[in-house]
Structure 1
Amino acid sequence: MSKDISGAKDSEFLTQSIKGFILAAGFSKRLRPITEHIPKPLLPIAGEVLLDYVYNFLKSSGIERIGINLHYKAKEIEQYIKDIKERGFSLTVFHEKEILNTGGALYNARNFLKDSPFLVHNGDIYWDGNLKEAIKWHIDSGNSITLLVHNCPPDNKLIVDEEDNLIGMNSSAFSLQSLFAFTGVAIYNPEVLELLPEGPSSVIDLWLKAKAQGLKVKVFPAKYSFWYDIGTPKGFARAVFDKLKRNFTSIYVHPTSTGCELIEPQGNIVIERNVRIKKSFIGKNIIILPETDFSPETTLISNCIVGKDFMLSISNWQGKKEILTHGGSTRNYFRENDNVFCQWNEINQEFDKTVTIGKFLKQKGFPVAEIIEVSKEQKLIIFEDLGDLTLYSWLQCKRNSEEILNVYKKIIEHVANLHWKISFEASELKANLPEFDYTYFIWESEYFLKECVEGVFKLNLSTIGDTYLADLQQELHLIAEKLSKAKKVILHRDLQSQNIMLKSLNSCHSEAQSAEKSSLNYEVYFVDYQSARCGPAGYDIASLLWDPYVELNDKIRQELVNYYIERAFNSLANLQPLAFLEELSLCRIQRHMQALGAYGFLSLKRGKRNFLKFIPQAIKLLMEDIEESPIELPNLRNLIRKLKNFAHYRFC
């Protein structure tokens, strides 16, 4: 089932007249005891209130006027709506003295809805579907009702014919091919309001009545990257934990909460606003709701939602197979039976490199996940499970300088060993690795100009003058030329905080540990090494210590750079500190250009728009790199200054 809207006529009132309506009056019985404390529309999803999300989602889809029905805990929800009006939050509220159900809610708001098409969104659906496309198709097709549907067994109950007309509800007489599930979103023309009875009723009855009277009731295939019905504790947990993955982390801590450092994380951890953790414990797949003081009685808290006076089990929330999102990767990762499976779309050089490099590094004692099984026929590599805790996730909790230094020093010991010992025991491997040469450095800088400067910021370089552009390119060529002459070692090549795993050495602890002991409680592992190249050592150090994903202060960076130089000397490397510092300075510039190019490409061409949030920090770091560069780069400085100004308005 697909829709071609390429030839659809323009609809003048598409974004000007259509209204939205959020169904939010229900008792939310399936979510008790959570909703005895927090109304379902006000549930937090890793720092974001559900009602805020749905409201902003409708607004971003071109819907300006939005209504909402309220009954259960109506005063709390209405007070919340009033409190956030200063952010431009404007909702028309319809109170229900008694629950009117989905159809009765529309009848109750008929005077608000009667003069234009309107979209109805269930208040417990959290997704990012193609609303604009659906609205346009509804209007241009002349439908009276359009139901947004998807294939979601066992909820496939809508019977649909070959022309996407709604036929009825589930019956064994129909093929499974004709069944679809309702997403919780529908678009209506105002004439259908006349079919609603006064008092409580269901929209399902409205659909069937409209069909019986010859009105066009059709379905539209929803497209989305995520869809969750959060009306149950498990559905709510899945939505929250999936948001963590989409934000490349396994830990979220609201800035107003305290005590995160007392948790030894072994899975997803979500700590909402004004939480106070008072006792140490091991945490795995837990959500701590707002305003909770938590002092657990056991050392292991897992698979639960914690509130003020309850702990609700969410065991088996992910099923047997847990889907893992892996940053910008095009490969599919999932966890099953305590192993991590990497499914490739096709067998290519990176598949073979992953196996070859992984086995070699493991043999040399460099900490990577053990490769358990390889199947080219199934395009599959099975890895040892290292858990969920990346360096990036670990840093989401407030850490003191001593903890941070201890963990980073562990990382640097391994990296120095890779650069200055393993590299010189790997002549055969090095011969088969691509080289970070002049051509590749130029490719990276052009990638930055194309995918970030032109792609994200829409700055057309051809309009800024031939002389300026030639001078800018000359500066980029100078950086590439200098770095291409540096001594080559085996590089991880993408040594950022999301590619470094921390695995607990202990299974439990019963009391808070000192910063030193806590940070030494993890073993370091490295993932995503298949892009390894031979290049200047400073590139890995720049990637690690000037990572846009995390903020390290200059004092910590300087101590860690000195520690790396010291470890390199201990490895008998012929490393000249001053020459290395100059190399490192240029590598910082090069790496940040590469990262900005990647953020632009992944956001705009791969649809992973969460990468956009890292652009302002990467630009800030690149500006600092240029100011501290050993060579003058006036044209690059001017370009980054422009981007920095744009970023302030575009992303802040």
Structure 2
Amino acid sequence: MQAVPSPIFGDSIRNKGMEKLLALYKRWRGSEPAGVEKLEGAGSNRAYYRLTDEDGEPVIGVIGTSRDENHAFVYLARHFEKRRLPVPHVLAVSEDETRYLQTDLGERSLFEAVRGGREAGGRYNLAEQELLRRTIRELPNIQLRGARGLDFSNCYPQPEFDQRGVLFDLNYFKYCFLKATELDFHELKLEANFRMFAKDLTSEKMDAFLYRDFQARNVMLDKEGKPYFIDFQGGRKGPFYYDLASFLWQASAKYSFKLRRELVFEYYQSLKNYTEVPSKRHFVNRLSLFVLFRTLQVLGAYGFRGYFERKKHFVDSIPPAIQNLRDLLALGEDVFPYPYMMSMLERLTRLPQFAHIERPAANRSDGFRTAEKDIYKANPMDGPATFSKYDGKGPLVVRVFSFSYRKGIPEDTSGNGGGYVFDCRSTHNPGRYEPYKKITGLDEPVIRFLEDDGEILDFLKPVYRLADHHVERYMQRGFTDLMFCFGCTGGQHRSVYCAQHLAEHLNEKYGIEVHITHREQGIRQTLNAR
């Protein structure tokens, strides 16, 4: 977005709060900002601005109406930075703590980065899945390492996750959502089950940092896709299950069961790096309790924002949240020993206004990941058996082609005799279907078709293993050229997808220069060495 030049500040920013923010910037920077840009509002009453200097260097200015909330953010950000966690750096704070400046982490949030998968009904492509994995692996870092030495008395609005807070949220669900549906229920019986539920949720005391608002909008990504965390001012001491449930069971994200299960496993494995973990069975049972709690909590919010404030986005979020609730009810009373509450929720999901929502097709994107390992370094003791006139010249450049068999295999121009040619025609062809006939394997609808079908992923697994081994050996020996070709019927869909993905994989994993040629599409691209 473009910053607004300072001459047009005018009446729109001459309010007292803005004047004080500009004064804070001037005191910190030594001059007034050259540009001011108001950013889209979040869920709180804080206002965000991007302030830029004459060189275009931006910082984020924040005006908050709650001193205590601002104090919590500033304290937590500074504490987390000392722990070397990926959070924004606080640059300056006003004396009354109603305004502060922080580093600008850019405009690319995880929410925007995975928009395609969300809009495709939960069919996330491999790149989107990898961003989700990176984020979920980083979560235990801020929860466990971030909690060490943290003075929770600085947290807002309360220092710890407790029964009183749980009951507040459950009653929020009751009054703002349940009563609005006009479902008949016995309030005293439900209240008794609520108290049992709250007791169970708080039965395991933990010294972890509970982020509380851990969602894709609050994760920013740098150019390499590394996640940075923002808007953690509502955090407190509490169980780590809450944030995992909050992130993975967000109704609008529409994660498939398979993808959720994989991300839970990623989190569980990452958690082992920071603390002693419970058994998988215990972990899953505890997580299920928090998923149910979080589902009721968000339904309360959707009810208030949708039914009472009449905001369409929140009304639209209710059906997928009800579907999440249906899935949870299927786990039974062994997991949720609250008979009256569960029977009431069962009746709730069968109300006419919550007609059955079709579950998105399972995401079959298994992915194809190779183990990270150091490349074996050639040893002089290898002797003449590995020597050729091409040894030691380097660096390696890989050429990757897609082509149509109707027009022949691409010519090798290196003089080295070529490399590999792979026939993609055994896999499901999107070109048979009218919606895909005029687009290619570089276009998102084709990518989703191929990855959802899954055949292309199974086809590429051994190709990746073979290519990795060959590239590593060529790098060891200082070879300069290697060629991979993928052919299909028209050189438009399957071969283009395979060539592009192998090229990006080799460039990302080994940092080598890769030249991509989609011959029949007239497309050439160079991925530079890193």
TM-score, normalized by length of structure 1?
0.44
Could you tell me which residue of structure 1 aligns to residue 79 of structure 2? 360
What's the Cα RMSD here? 3.0
TM-superposed CA distance for 1:410, in Å, is: 1.6
Q: Pick the aligned partner of 2:177 from 442, 452, 466.
A: 452
Code of the aligned partner of 1:407:
L
Q: Quick check: 1:569–1:575 contact (8 Å CA) kept in 2?
A: no
List per-residue Cα deviations over 1:212-270 (Å, max 9, x = no partner).
Answer: xxxxxxxxxxxxxxxxxxxxxxxxxxxxxxxxxxxxxxxxxxxxxxxxxxxxxxxxxxx
Which amino acid is 1:444 matched to? D
Query: Aligned-pair distance for 1:585?
Result: 0.1
Give the CA deviation at 1:616. 1.6
Residues 1:474 and 2:198 are matched in the alignment? no
Choose from 418, 442, 451 the match for 2:142: 418
Query: Hey, what does 1:335 align to over in structure 2?
Result: 50
- 1:647 Cα deviation from its structure 2 partner: 4.1
Question: Which of residues 268, 273, 280 is equivalent to 1:565?
Answer: 268
> Map of 1:295-444 to 2, 5 A cutoff?
320-337=35-52, 338-345=58-65, 347-377=66-96, 379-398=98-117, 400-423=124-147, 425-429=148-152, 434-444=159-169
Q: What amino acid does structure 2 have at the position aligned with 1:443? A: F
For the residues of structure 1 that align with 2:278 and 2:39, how far apart are their CA atoms? 40
Deviation at 1:414, TM superposition (A): 1.9
Find the aligned partners of 2:108 and 2:307 in 1 and give their Cα distance.
Answer: 28
Give the structure, 1 or 2, with the largest relative contact order (CA under 8 Å, sep 6 or more): 2
Alpha-carbon distance in 2 for matches of 1:376, 1:604 = 40
State the partner residue of 1:53: none
Q: In the TM superposition, what is the alpha-carbon distance from 1:541 to its structure 2 partner? A: 0.5
Contact 1:613 1:651 in 2 (8 A): no
Residues 251 and 324 in structure 2, CA contact (< 8 A), matched pair in contact too: yes
| 1:524 Cα deviation after fit | 0.4
1:339 maps to amino acid: V
Distance (whole Å) between structure 1 residues aligned to residue 285 and residue 357 of structure 2: 32
1: CA distance between counterparts of 2:280 and 2:146?
21
Of 490, 497, 502, the match for 2:216: 497
8 A Cα contact 1:588 1:622, kept in partner: no
How far is the alpha carbon of 1:323 from its aligned partner?
A: 2.3
Structure with the larger strand share: 1
Q: 1:583 aligns with which of 286, 289, 299?
A: 286
- Distance across 2 between alignment mates of 1:613 and 1:370: 36
* Structure 1 residue 355: Cα displacement: 0.7
Structure 1 Cα separation of the partners of residues 171 and 178 of structure 2? 10
Structure (1 or 2) with the greater helix fraction: 2
Q: 2:203 aligned to 485, 488, 507, which one?
A: 485
Distance 2:308 2:59 in 1: 31
- Give the AA of the match of 1:496: Q
From 325, 339, 357, the counterpart of 1:622: 325
- What is aligned with 1:244? none
How much does 1:559 deviate? Answer: 1.4
Q: Deviations over 1:347-393 (max 9, x none)?
A: 43211101111111122122111112211448212221122222222
Q: 1:525 to 1:485 in 2, by over 3 A?
A: same
Change (3 A) 1:482 1:624: same
Q: In 2, distance between residues paired with 1:642 and 1:588? A: 19
Q: After superposition, give the CA deviation of every residue in 1:459-512 in whole Å (9 maximum; x if it has no partner).
A: 2x7xx35xx3333222222221111112321111111122222222xxxxxxxx
Helix, strand or coil at the partner of 2:108:
coil
* Secondary structure of 1:572's aligned partner: coil
Cα distance in 1, alignment partners of residues 353 and 81 from structure 2: 42
Question: CA 1:429/1:477 → structure 2, altered by over 3 Å: closer, same or farther?
Answer: closer
Secondary structure of the 2:295 match is helix
Report deviation, 1:575. 2.8
- Tell me if the contact between 1:497 and 1:549 (Cα under 8 Å) persists in the aligned partners: no
Counterpart residue identity of residue 62, structure 2: C
2:167 partner letter = I
Deviations 1:266-304 (A, max 9, x none): xxxxxxxxxxxxxxxxxxxxxxxxxxxxxxxxxxxxxxx
Deviation of the 1:606 alpha carbon: 5.9
The answer for unaligned runs of 5 or more in structure 2 is 1-9, 12-33, 53-57, 118-122, 359-530
Deviations 1:509-547 (CA, angstroms, capped at 9, x unpaired): xxxxxxxxxxxx312011110110111111111011111
Output one character per residue of 1:17-40: Cα deviation in whole Å (capped at 9) or x when no partner.
xxxxxxxxxxxxxxxxxxxxxxxx
Aligned partners of 1:378, 1:360: CA distance in 2, in Å? 17
Over 3 Å counting, the alpha-carbon distance change for 1:614 and 1:351 in structure 2 is same
Partners of 2:197 and 2:72 in 1: CA distance: 28
The Cα of 1:614 is off from its aligned counterpart by 1.4
Distance 1:485 1:451, change over 3 A: same
1:524 aligns with 2:239: no
Query: Partner of 1:325: helix, strand, or coil?
Result: coil
Residues 376 and 642 of structure 1: CA distance in aligned 2, closer, same or farther (over 3 Å): farther
**How high is the sequence identity, in percent, across the aligned residues?**
25
Counterpart AA for 2:195: H
**CA distance in 1 between partners of 2:131 and 2:256 (Å):** 15
- What runs of 5+ residues in structure 1 fail to find an aligned partner? 1-152, 155-318, 505-520
Counting only pairs closer than 5 Å after superposition, residues 160-309 of structure 1 correspond to structure 2 as: none
The answer to whether the Cα contact below 8 Å between 1:449 and 1:597 also exists between their aligned partners in 2 is yes
Tell me whether 406-415 or 372-381 shows the greater mean CA deviation: 372-381
Tell me by how many angstroms 1:588 deviates: 0.3
Cα distance change, pair 375–604 in 1 and its aligned pair in 2 (3 A): farther
The 8 Å contact of residues 113 and 128 in structure 2, kept in 1 or not, is answered as no
Could you tell me how far apart the structure 2 residues matched to 1:529 and 1:646 are? 38
Change (3 A) 1:325 1:650: farther
Report the Cα distance in structure 2 between the residues aligned to 1:610 and 1:643, rounded to whole angstroms: 21
Note closer, same or farther for the CA distance 1:409–1:604 as it changes in structure 2 (3 Å cut): same
Matches within 5 A, 1:593-604: 593-603=296-306
Change (3 A) 1:430 1:565: farther
Contact 1:619 1:640 in 2 (8 A): no
Contact 1:366-1:414 at 8 Å conserved across structures: no
The one-letter code of the counterpart of 2:80 is L
Partner-residue secondary structure (3-state), 1:628: coil
CA distance 1:411–1:582, change in 2 (3 Å): same
Are the aligned partners of 1:430 and 1:534 in contact in 2 as well (CA < 8 Å)? no
Distance 1:619 1:397 in 2: 23
CA–CA distance in 2 between the matches of 1:378 and 1:422? 23
**Correspondence 1:636 to 2:341:** yes
Whichever residue aligns with residue 406 of structure 1, its letter is E
Quote the Cα distance in structure 2 between the aligned partners of 1:536 and 1:377: 32
Aligned to 1:281: none
Supply the AA of the counterpart residue of 1:420. Answer: L
Amino acid at match of 1:349: D
Give the equivalent residue in structure 1 for 2:402.
Answer: none
Residue 609 of structure 1: CA displacement?
A: 4.5
